[in-house]
Amino acid sequence: MKKIVIMASGNGSNFENIVKKLGNQVDIELFSENKNAYVIKRAEKLKVKTHIIDFKSYYRDEYDEKLYNLLKKQTPELIVLAGYMKLLSPKIVDKFKIINIHPSLLPAFPGVNSIKKAYNYGVKITGVTVHWVDNGIDTGKIIEQKSLKIDKGISLEKLEEKIHEIEHEIYPCVLKKLLGL
């Protein structure tokens, strides 16, 4: 069975969705740098092995080395970022195959708060991008995108909800393709 490590920092809805859709086909482990992240509770409920390295407890170089050693020990086929909010060191990016999901049609609106940025800018179309992780911020080669027309008068909250629905649809499909499932 192929192994993936999902890295998440917050709520974990993409993590839970992936586990529910692929958990019987792939060995999944969770990593978080945020010991208070809700994703950890989701992992406990789903009985997914979890690793936590509290980012705030280390100098950046120490954290990067601990994370690198943990990932090397796990030997994942793929690392899946799902709301992981730290930049990975070049040592990690260069060693592992890593993908990320981003709530915009990259290259537009990279970085944080992308849905809000697109909404405030007034774009008519936004969407979701799955891309390879490189040493930039949301600059890796695009694997797949799905667009969403922004209806006139839609609230930011409703747009965020629609973007998350697309994320939950697209990410497991991309993972299945990449893992040959």
Reported as a single tens digit per residue, the pLDDT across 40-99 is 999 999 999 999 999 988 899 999 999 999 999 989 999 999 999 889 999 999 999 999
100 assigned binding-site residue: yes
- Say which range, 71-75, 114-118, 125-129, has the weakest mean pLDDT: 71-75
Q: Which pLDDT score is estimated for 58?
A: 87
DSSP of 146-179: EEEE--TT--HHHHHHHHHHHHHHHHHHHHHHHH
The answer regarding whether domain 101-181 maps to CATH 3.30.1490.20 reads no
13 assigned binding-site residue: yes
Q: What average pLDDT does the segment 100-104 reach?
A: 98
The model's confidence at residue 126, banded by pLDDT at 50, 70 and 90, is very high
Q: Where in the chain is the domain with CATH 3.40.50.170?
A: 1-96, 101-181
1-96 is classed in which CATH architecture?
3-Layer(aba) Sandwich (3.40)
131 is catalytic: no
85 assigned binding-site residue: yes
Residue (of 118, 34, 22, 117) closest to 78 by Cα position:
22
89 assigned binding-site residue: no
Assessment of whether the complete model's pTM goes beyond 0.85? yes
Task: Point out the catalytic residue in the list 102, 131, 164, 168.
Answer: 102
